[in-house]
Amino acid sequence: MRRDHRPYWMHALWERFENAWAEDFLAPHFDALGGNAKIVRPWNVEVFGPNVRAGRSLHVVSRRDQPVSFTVWSPADAPGAITIGDACFFAGGVRILAAGSIEIGDACLFAKSVTVTDSDWHGLYDRVDPRPAWKPVKIGNNVWIGDGALIGKGVTIGDNAVIGARAVVVRDVAANTVVAGNPAKPVKDLDPDGPFRTRLDLMADAEGLEAFMDAAYREELKRNSTLGWLRMKLFPRRGD
């Protein structure tokens, strides 16, 4: 399918359905969730365990084959936590797994199938311990993590850093540094003075952005019809 064949009313109804589903069935699983969250296919997002908190303008894009999970697994007398700042984006397949503490700053970008974990979850000799050892993970502001990267236990990543696709990060990453490889190593330094534009800038006027996107969808879909959408679904043609 080369383009969206839905009429505007169908798009708007679907948006309302997703938003209502997220508010009623997903948001209650967060200990805190800021305003203006946008969760695409929220039924494919799992929040498991206590102390999962996210700031305003959380954006998650999931799919049936690429669920997103925020998981805290720890004993009740020593609960772990996941803390997510404002205006963060999570693509499909992302897993955030905390036995102790994972802190994520503002305006971070997580590409498809990223894993962040503060524990190995099993010891080399004792592989059934219900209290796995952990070391805190701290991710700064405006960090961009590429497809399939792994952020391991005890790692701190500084502001504005970029983690290359498939990188395996087992050591700290300095601010304003690009790393890549397995194990990840520095490949480029960024100018600390930037200037950087981040998702905080994008979401500074969340209502204005929502109105802009709605107008864009109205313009893009205005020539579509319900009958045209049904025809495409039932009798697709080359070029659809």
* pLDDT tens digit sequence for 176-198: 999 999 999 999 999 999 899 99
222, 226, 227, 220: which is closest to 2 by C-alpha? 220
Which residues, at least 6 apart from 74, have a Cβ–Cβ distance to it below 8 Å?
A: 49, 80, 98, 99, 100, 131
As a whole number, mean pLDDT of residues 45-63 equals 96
Predicted pLDDT at 76: 72
Percent helix, percent strand, percent coil in the chain, to nearest 5: 20, 30, 50
Closest CA to 97 of 110, 86, 215: 110
What is the pLDDT averaged over residues 192-206?
A: 91
Quick one: pLDDT band at residue 17, thresholds 50, 70, 90? very high
**Dihedral-angle region of residue 239 (phi above 0 means left; psi in -120 to 50 means alpha; beta otherwise):** left
Q: Is the pLDDT of residue 67 over 90?
A: yes
For residue 40 the two structure tokens come to 């695409």
Task: Please tell me the predicted confidence (pLDDT) of residue 110.
Answer: 98
What Rg, from alpha-carbon coordinates, does the chain have? 20
Question: Do the Cβ atoms of 74 and 52 come closer than 8 Å?
Answer: no
Which are the contacts of 159, defined by CB distance < 8 A and separation ≥ 6?
A: 105, 140, 141, 142, 143, 175, 176
Structure confidence at residue 51 as a pLDDT band (50, 70, 90): very high
For the chain, what's the residue count?
240
Q: Report angle CA 180, 104, 172 to the nearest 5 degrees.
A: 40
Domains of the chain: 31-204 (2.160.10.10)
Q: Which residues are catalytic?
A: 122
- Check pLDDT > 80 for residue 214: yes
Confidence of residue 132 (pLDDT cuts 50, 70, 90): confident
23-44 average pLDDT score: 97
User: DSSP letter at 112?
Assistant: T
Mean pLDDT of the chain: 94
Q: End-to-end distance of the chain based on CA atoms, in angstroms?
A: 5
pLDDT, mean of residues 135-161: 98
What mean pLDDT do residues 61-82 have?
90
pLDDT more than 70, % of the chain: 100
Q: Are 63 and 46 in contact (CB under 8 A)?
A: no
Q: In this model, does residue 74 exceed pLDDT 80?
A: no
Identify residue 177 by its one-letter amino acid code: T
Residue 131: pLDDT above 90? no
**Confidence grade of residue 2 (pLDDT, cut at 50, 70, 90):** confident
Band (pLDDT 50/70/90 cuts) for residue 127 is confident
Q: Are 195 and 212 in contact (CB under 8 A)?
A: no
Please check whether residue 114 is in contact with residue 149, taking contact to mean a CB–CB distance below 8 angstroms. Answer: yes
Q: What is the pLDDT of residues 92-104, one digit of tens each?
A: 999 999 999 999 9
